[in-house]
Structure 1
Amino acid sequence: MNKPILFICLFIQSFIFAQLSERSLSSEKWQFKNSKDKNWLPAQVPGTVHQDLMNNKIIQDPFKDENEKKVQWIENEDWDYQTTFNISSKEVMNDNIDLVFNGLDTFSEIFLNGKLLKKTDNMFRKWQIPVKQDLKSGENLLQIKFKSAFNTGKELAKKVPFTMPESPRSFVRKAQYQFGWDWGPRLVTAGIWKDIKLEFWNNARIENIKIEQKKLSDKNAELAVHASIFADKKGKYTIAVNNTVDVVPLKKGQNLINIPFHIQNPKRWQPNGWGEAYLYDIKVSLKQKSTSLSDETMKIGLRTIELVQDKDERGKSFYFKVNGNPLYIKGTNWIPADSFSPRITKEKYQKLIKDSKEAHMNMIRIWGGGIYENDEFYKACDENGILVWQDFMFAGSFYPADEEFLANVKEEVKDQVSRLQNHPSIALWCGNNEIDEAIVNWGYQKQFKYSKNDSIQVWKDYKKLFHEVIPNALKENLTVDKNIYWPSSPSIGWGHKESLTEGDSHYWGVWWGEQPFEIYNEKVGRFMSEYGFQGMPSLETTKSMFSAIPDLSLQNPVIKAHEKHGRGWEIINEYMKRDYKVPTDFVKYNYVSQLLQARGMEIAIEAHRRARPYNMGTLYWQLNDCWPVVSWSSIDYLGNWKAFHYQTKRSFEPMLISVSENKDSYDIYFINDLLQDAKITSKVELIDFKGKVLWAAGATDHLSANSAEKHLEIKKENFSSFDLSSTALKIYVGNDTFKTEKLYFFKKPKDLKLSKPTLYIKKISPTEIEVSTDVLAKDVYLKGDTNFSDNFFDMLPKTSKRITLSQPLEKVEGMSLWDVLEN
């Protein structure tokens, strides 16, 4: 009688524990301490040691005042973390239990109940450790001991017979920006920066799913689902992709299963501006008989993408063809949105991507000195039609290529590619940021007195890492349709002529070279993947640099400490003198610095777009900040749009009017990023600042799809009798379905003859206002605790502009309207 009962109990027990289940350990009561100390303090996981020290009031916020300097000791210390957790007798009965760390920063030793399980050496890797034999029912002790990445890196650097630039950061597989950049603080963190969990599973589990798009037409999408399954017990299993079910035999150990899958009449995933970023739900389930063992769910998009590089009479093209059509790339570069990345919220990721979409962007480049971003970033890009240029995490230095380092990188690539590859937003994988250029152009060999053999070794190591190990690891872990690899960005440094005739270009003649903004009209490459100019953050963000009521002055040491470029203020001042009257008042200086940045970037973006199809992409540096700072960003650390981002929204409009001044004429271009031709009416008026029309011309024309064409050429002699410092060119293009306008000023802002306007605001609805003026109002700045549909804009008299607010007027604090007339 006992045997049947025992059989039934075992069957029920097996059924209960068949489904893979997870349990987070991040929410347990964690503690930390300096390894030299005895006393433990409360810790937060995920997190960083800096956050834990702040929470325990041992250090002050390094983002405020000059506190960054006071916390540099942290990077030299070792730090210990620990927690206890209970395991039930039921949990122990699972056949397999894995301890999974999604991110440990960086050099650590993992102990469970006193036993050393693993040593880690890479912030970007996933560590999965079988622990069933090491767990016990009841209380278990988990300890993670972190070694100083700075000190460990110095020890690793000693193994190389010559001095490496940026040592020791290039020896540690860790976010490189933590060591300080010209827009970010030096905050070299340690800690458990991603979640920790226990996974319980039986019989078999799905380890990874790759979705390959084999063919795509209007009638059918032919897919292959590649499932990597680990079986603890061999036998027949059922695997289902949505409603498609197959029975497959699995051997004990690793199994690779390929399942064909079809979607009839598929909808394509379209980039922002071309249509809906349509996503399909895919669920892959593994069962044995009727028992569910493991499943994976994901959203995929169906699209084709190619990187086209064809030789032509001027060099070689560089453009992306998406769903069969050339796509002009409009976008930006992304850095981590916080120096302490565990505190970047889903809401912040979503807002920054939506802000990019609102500014008509279709691509973001993830810069190689940061991190492989959180899943939420890629999810937001998928949903909003934003393509991703994904750098691997190497930037601006030389890197070693010993066997241990290369093996570590290979596993890093495997982990990250496995995690990210099914996102339709991923357009290109890039080996590094500016390392080819650093080796060829930056003079490190001379600075560090390299021998000829040293220099040869550096180049061999570079080729080994970025032309062999990484692309080979990509091929091993990617499906064919997602394997677009570019070894280094840029492909050629900005001082070389070829950088503008092929590949992608980082042009820094403006800012670093201190060339005038107008040089952007000449220095146009095939694909501009970096260029930029600094501007101050909003006043709100500037004030957040202080822990007390701020003394807002350019001489304030706190303000100076939040400008990380050695000559930043000097360069901003020099450019400001060229184009504006330089204010002495800090608030006005803040405002004009933003106008200056926006003006420079408007010139650059429009020069790029006019040059289509020679130029087919413009990615400015940079979208966001990792702390409150004077930088190249268009959105500051607190999420406020700078004047630059409002200008980006205007300059990235799918229908753009752009004016190019030549020796004898003003050439007017109409740029159309859409896939449809259009019949248009255009009108050009020369208007004085009081609204009087002095000259006019118009035409009916045809606007070609996906094009940039010169439509009008106005001879300068037409305007020889007018005072161009008191006039503007108003250009209109439109038809029954769209309308766009542009004001073009002939003179620099400091040379315009402005008079004081009377500005009027009329409430249209709780979330809409109308602004009007009696004379030209230049760079109208709306201030308030809300987002505006437009800001920092110009207005002619006898016109009005409607502005939408992100929240009702009665909830907006500090709403005011300001126009800097002195400029």
Structure 2
Amino acid sequence: MGNILKYIVFFLWPVTLLAQTAERKLNAENWHFKKTEDKNWLPATVPGTVHTDLWNNKVIPDPFWGTNEKQLLGIENENWEYESVFTVTGQELKHETIELQFDGLDTYAKVYLNNELVLEADNMFRTWKIDVKNTLKKGKNKLYILFEPAVKKGKEEAQKLPYVLPGDEKVFTRKAQYQYGWDWGPRFVTAGIWKDVKLVSWDAAVITNVKYFQKKLSDEKAELEFVAEIQSNKKDVFQLKINNESKTIALKKGTNNIAMSYVIANPKRWWSNGLGEAYLYPFSISLSRNATVFSKKQMHIGLRTLELIQEKDKSGKSFYFKLNGIPVFMKGANYIPPDSFLPRVKDSVYQSIVSNAANAHMNMLRVWGGGVYADDAFYEECDKKGILVWQDFMFACAMYPDDAHFVANVKKEVADNVKRLQNHPSIAIWCGNNESDEGWKNWGWQKQYHYSQTDSASIWNGYKKLFHEAIPQTLDSLLGAGKNIYWPSSPSIGWGRKESLLEGDSHYWGVWWGMQPFEVYMEKTGRFMSEYGFQGMPNLETFQEFAPEEELNFASEAVKNHQKHPTGYQTIQTYMERDYKIPTKFDDYIYVSQLLQAEGMKTAMEAHRRAKPYCMGSLFWQLNDCWPVTSWSAADYYGRWKAFQYQAKRSFEPVLVSVQEEKDSYEIFIVNDELTSKKGTLELQLMDFEGKTLWHKSATIHIEENSSKIYETVTKTQLAGFNLKETVLRVQLTMPGAEEKEVLYYFEKPKNLALKKPVVSVTYTDANTIEITTDILAKNIFITAGDAFFSDNYFDLLPGRKKKIVISNTEKGKALSIKTLFDTLP
């Protein structure tokens, strides 16, 4: 009886949806794939990639393990075929319009339906729709896709130019640039059906897109205008309904753009993380006739105003975002694709990445231009968590062709993605590319590629055609001129030029690339720091995911292959020698490399915040990883927090206490990003490592709202006579109704501190909470217990103090382990 009921439901489904829009995913149909010259077909997963399908069928080993990446490069040069046979019922064929829709094809694909060529795709970032009403047949239908290698296509296009463009063959392909290899990622040039494939059927008319414009926003009301793009098969009259309001509309055959006003009384505003609630209004937009709903869309809207303020001042020109009339300091990071094989990334991964950012007090993420436009789940979570998005278009570190086909392809790519993303309140700014302008002006490409003046003029004119004309003009046509914030290239000026710190956004790489000391961050602070960073190794558990125990050392080829910067480990070593004593054990070296990264990035993050309002943004490189690797990330591929992520959480707190050394003194800043002033008590103690107070001072202070200000100063004369190798300045801020804030400031580099072995005690106050104490200073306490997550980690603790830690994601049988910096001393 159960099987009969299932059979009836299956065949009634198209009947119940007739006259309405129906989506039928073809992902789960019986897909197979093979290399063109092979005879045998193998099972395939859709969405998926060739690499993961080969791995699932045990044709290739784990691409991330050891040095397997090097053995798999040939995959990118092959033709790959995918096919599926699916059944279409007579009832389904009664729909007036049936479209075959690919949300993502990677990248050069010829699509055949029942042996008829219906589509030739050449852009990974576009949505492809084909009317297949007359190509489908009742019963079995065969869908066959030939994927041709993007590498070969790119090289063929490159041969057509009289000069070489920086960026090699990848620049000719509208495909994720990082897949060709980056200094933090492997080379896996993928192919496949990387997003959903579906049949979309509809009758009479369908809503293909909805956008809204915020015409007016005040405390009393919000005036909105919705514009519904509707495709109609004939001239007809319908009802367009938005929530509980409806309007009778007359449609012509073809494309219709119907505007409808909507008013919200006493509206709630959408605020970024830390400033208020990221309030979202739900909307349902439907198209109906005679009580029959033909098409429906759901969306959530956040009401807010956002401006990019660039005004000349005595130093240069400001660069900051004003949200709902309030200047907001942007705290955050650069986001890259979370996997080399994107179809296997679940929504929960995107949600976790954004939650990690929000939990670290971030309010902006930059979607970097060498990856992909992120999945819907990413932007939806940013909407909910109040994370603004700096959205690059997908161009990075290269120059691009400007032929008519390429530019037209880009325009369609921009249209597809802007239509998908435009209604998200999290979208703050659209940016043309990452570092292409800087590369052209500062990286010596003209000399490297031996360009003539004619070549240089042609390449630069092509750049302007793409990033100063085609993309912004397409944006304006979709969103309205002046209704979007567009920035042609990030950064606006290269870090080697002094002007880069006086206006626009800055990528500062004098630290790391220039081998400058971390202290230079205090001098090299620009108006909006959209990139800066330093590498740290991932946790030992992450190394164990790609290498056997006997290969966990720097001589290991596996360990070398999971560091993509050519001098990455040597750069870490050089900086480590400046600040730390070099550990001898591999796991200790990992730990100290993370401390080094965290401390260096603390110097940068807090210098930026102290410089408010001159500087109004600090987005570090980078938030996450696409595979297990030593990189600039704050959390690794598996989501494990490095010391850097914990430090970011501390350095991005809404109210920050920060100490800056000057020539003759130490200045105690309090940075308040909140919109209310506060009263507090600021207490300063000079203490030895045994906890004895050597010097003490306290004051009652009034902390101004949305400000950065010096509240106390300690002169170096006051510290004369004390052994600064065994003393620490303890700064405590106590405010009514808030947890006290404690900052420990050391006068010497870690390698010069007179550390002694602490006795660290752990007490469970309940099943998921521990309390930690110590007999003497415990520097950089690192707690582990398998993959358990700790609310704080890599922190310092003085005797007489108690530190409460909440544990989540605990694993049975995993005992707590504690390490301090003293334990790593050689």
User: Smaller-chain TM-score range?
Assistant: over 0.9
How do residues 705-720 of structure 1 correspond to structure 2 at under 5 angstroms? 705-720=705-720
What is the aligned partner in structure 2 of residue 177 from structure 1?
178
* CA deviation profile, 1:95-126 (whole Å, cap 9, x unmatched): 11000000000011010000001111000000
1:639 lines up with 2:651 in the alignment: no
**Which whole-Å CA distance do the structure 2 matches of 1:592 and 1:406 have between them?**
48
Q: Match for 2:89: what amino acid?
A: S
1:607 lines up with 2:604 in the alignment: no
User: Is the CA contact 1:213–1:481 (under 8 Å) kept in the aligned structure 2?
Assistant: no
* CA deviation profile, 1:775-822 (whole Å, cap 9, x unmatched): 0000000011211110000001111100011146x7362421111314
How do residues 16-165 of structure 1 correspond to structure 2 at under 5 angstroms? 17-165=18-166
How do residues 354-373 of structure 1 correspond to structure 2 at under 5 angstroms? 354-373=355-374
Structure 1 portions without partners, runs of 5+: 1-11
**Which whole-Å CA distance do the structure 1 matches of 2:783 and 2:735 have between them?**
30
TM-score, normalization: structure 2? 0.97
Other structure's SS at 2:383 match:
helix
Q: Match for 1:104: what amino acid?
A: L
Q: Match for 1:617: what amino acid?
A: G
Q: Residues 812 and 795 (structure 1 numbering): CA distance in 2 closer, same or farther, change over 3 Å?
A: farther
**Which whole-Å CA distance do the structure 2 matches of 1:361 and 1:594 have between them?**
20
**Which whole-Å CA distance do the structure 2 matches of 1:714 and 1:458 have between them?**
55
Q: Match for 1:671: what amino acid?
A: V
Q: Residues 13 and 726 (structure 1 numbering): CA distance in 2 closer, same or farther, change over 3 Å?
A: closer
Instruction: Quote the offset at 1:203 in angstroms.
Output: 0.4
User: Is the CA contact 1:421–1:482 (under 8 Å) kept in the aligned structure 2?
Assistant: no
Other structure's SS at 1:780 match:
strand
Other structure's SS at 1:316 match:
coil
Q: Match for 1:256: what amino acid?
A: N
What is the aligned partner in structure 2 of residue 262 from structure 1?
263
Q: Residues 247 and 481 (structure 1 numbering): CA distance in 2 closer, same or farther, change over 3 Å?
A: farther
**Which whole-Å CA distance do the structure 1 matches of 2:381 and 2:316 have between them?**
36
What is the aligned partner in structure 2 of residue 680 from structure 1?
680
1:271 lines up with 2:272 in the alignment: yes
* CA deviation profile, 1:225-255 (whole Å, cap 9, x unmatched): 0110011021111000001100010011110
User: Is the CA contact 1:269–1:303 (under 8 Å) kept in the aligned structure 2?
Assistant: yes
**Which whole-Å CA distance do the structure 2 matches of 1:285 and 1:481 have between them?**
29
**Which whole-Å CA distance do the structure 2 matches of 1:556 and 1:712 have between them?**
50
**Which whole-Å CA distance do the structure 2 matches of 1:268 and 1:755 have between them?**
53
How do residues 748-767 of structure 1 correspond to structure 2 at under 5 angstroms? 748-767=749-768
User: Is the CA contact 2:240–2:286 (under 8 Å) kept in the aligned structure 1?
Assistant: yes
**Which whole-Å CA distance do the structure 1 matches of 2:538 and 2:549 have between them?**
17
Other structure's SS at 1:390 match:
strand
User: Is the CA contact 2:104–2:193 (under 8 Å) kept in the aligned structure 1?
Assistant: yes
Instruction: Quote the offset at 1:626 in angstroms.
Output: 0.3
How do residues 153-552 of structure 1 correspond to structure 2 at under 5 angstroms? 153-479=154-480, 482-546=483-547, 548-552=548-552
How do residues 766-781 of structure 1 correspond to structure 2 at under 5 angstroms? 766-781=767-782
Other structure's SS at 2:134 match:
helix
The alignment of Structure 1 onto Structure 2 pairs a total of residues equal to 810
**Which whole-Å CA distance do the structure 2 matches of 1:83 and 1:681 have between them?**
70
* CA deviation profile, 1:172-209 (whole Å, cap 9, x unmatched): 00000000000000000000000000011000000100
User: Is the CA contact 1:335–1:626 (under 8 Å) kept in the aligned structure 2?
Assistant: yes
**Which whole-Å CA distance do the structure 2 matches of 1:16 and 1:334 have between them?**
40
Q: Residues 464 and 741 (structure 1 numbering): CA distance in 2 closer, same or farther, change over 3 Å?
A: same
TM-score, normalization: structure 1? 0.97
**Which whole-Å CA distance do the structure 2 matches of 1:16 and 1:706 have between them?**
54
**Which whole-Å CA distance do the structure 1 matches of 2:813 and 2:521 have between them?**
39
Q: Residues 334 and 812 (structure 1 numbering): CA distance in 2 closer, same or farther, change over 3 Å?
A: farther
* CA deviation profile, 1:364-398 (whole Å, cap 9, x unmatched): 00000000011000011111110000000000011
What is the aligned partner in structure 2 of residue 806 from structure 1?
808
**Which whole-Å CA distance do the structure 2 matches of 1:17 and 1:346 have between them?**
31
What is the aligned partner in structure 1 of residue 819 from structure 2?
818
**Runs of at least 4 residues off by over 4 Å:** 12-16, 479-482
Q: Match for 1:796: what amino acid?
A: L
Q: CA RMSD in A?
A: 1.2
User: Is the CA contact 1:212–1:480 (under 8 Å) kept in the aligned structure 2?
Assistant: no
Other structure's SS at 1:697 match:
strand
**Which whole-Å CA distance do the structure 2 matches of 1:718 and 1:438 have between them?**
48
Other structure's SS at 2:468 match:
helix
Other structure's SS at 1:554 match:
coil
**Which whole-Å CA distance do the structure 1 matches of 2:55 and 2:575 have between them?**
39
User: Is the CA contact 2:476–2:482 (under 8 Å) kept in the aligned structure 1?
Assistant: no
**Which whole-Å CA distance do the structure 1 matches of 2:254 and 2:448 have between them?**
53
**Which whole-Å CA distance do the structure 1 matches of 2:648 and 2:360 have between them?**
6
**Which whole-Å CA distance do the structure 1 matches of 2:204 and 2:759 have between them?**
77
What is the aligned partner in structure 1 of residue 3 from structure 2?
none
Q: Match for 1:409: what amino acid?
A: V
Q: Residues 13 and 403 (structure 1 numbering): CA distance in 2 closer, same or farther, change over 3 Å?
A: closer
Instruction: Quote the offset at 1:681 in angstroms.
Output: 1.1
Q: Match for 1:578: what amino acid?
A: R
Q: Which moved more, 1:443-452 or 1:306-315?
A: 443-452
**Which whole-Å CA distance do the structure 2 matches of 1:538 and 1:210 have between them?**
44
Instruction: Quote the offset at 1:673 in angstroms.
Output: 0.5
**Which whole-Å CA distance do the structure 2 matches of 1:42 and 1:481 have between them?**
50
Other structure's SS at 1:315 match:
coil
Q: Residues 636 and 290 (structure 1 numbering): CA distance in 2 closer, same or farther, change over 3 Å?
A: same
* CA deviation profile, 1:120-154 (whole Å, cap 9, x unmatched): 10000000000000000000000110110000000
**Which whole-Å CA distance do the structure 2 matches of 1:53 and 1:515 have between them?**
45
Instruction: Quote the offset at 1:164 in angstroms.
Output: 1.2
**Which whole-Å CA distance do the structure 2 matches of 1:441 and 1:270 have between them?**
38
What is the aligned partner in structure 2 of residue 796 from structure 1?
798
**Which whole-Å CA distance do the structure 1 matches of 2:16 and 2:535 have between them?**
61
Other structure's SS at 2:270 match:
coil
Q: Residues 365 and 251 (structure 1 numbering): CA distance in 2 closer, same or farther, change over 3 Å?
A: same
**Which whole-Å CA distance do the structure 2 matches of 1:479 and 1:296 have between them?**
22
* CA deviation profile, 1:330-367 (whole Å, cap 9, x unmatched): 00000000000111111111111111111000000000
What is the aligned partner in structure 2 of residue 6 from structure 1?
none
**Which whole-Å CA distance do the structure 1 matches of 2:321 and 2:467 have between them?**
22
Instruction: Quote the offset at 1:481 in angstroms.
Output: 7.3
User: Is the CA contact 2:551–2:559 (under 8 Å) kept in the aligned structure 1?
Assistant: no
Q: Match for 2:426: what amino acid?
A: S
What is the aligned partner in structure 2 of residue 7 from structure 1?
none
Q: Residues 521 and 13 (structure 1 numbering): CA distance in 2 closer, same or farther, change over 3 Å?
A: closer
How do residues 552-571 of structure 1 correspond to structure 2 at under 5 angstroms? 552-571=552-571
**Which whole-Å CA distance do the structure 2 matches of 1:692 and 1:480 have between them?**
64
* CA deviation profile, 1:530-559 (whole Å, cap 9, x unmatched): 00000000111111112x444311111110
User: Is the CA contact 1:103–1:192 (under 8 Å) kept in the aligned structure 2?
Assistant: yes
User: Is the CA contact 1:672–1:707 (under 8 Å) kept in the aligned structure 2?
Assistant: yes
User: Is the CA contact 1:369–1:433 (under 8 Å) kept in the aligned structure 2?
Assistant: yes
User: Is the CA contact 1:768–1:804 (under 8 Å) kept in the aligned structure 2?
Assistant: yes
Q: Match for 1:694: what amino acid?
A: L
User: Is the CA contact 1:689–1:728 (under 8 Å) kept in the aligned structure 2?
Assistant: yes
Other structure's SS at 1:424 match:
coil
Q: Residues 679 and 812 (structure 1 numbering): CA distance in 2 closer, same or farther, change over 3 Å?
A: farther
**Which whole-Å CA distance do the structure 2 matches of 1:351 and 1:480 have between them?**
35
**Which whole-Å CA distance do the structure 2 matches of 1:555 and 1:601 have between them?**
28
Q: Match for 2:66: what amino acid?
A: D
**Which whole-Å CA distance do the structure 1 matches of 2:98 and 2:792 have between them?**
54
Q: Match for 2:179: what amino acid?
A: Q
* CA deviation profile, 1:273-307 (whole Å, cap 9, x unmatched): 01111111011000122211001001111111100
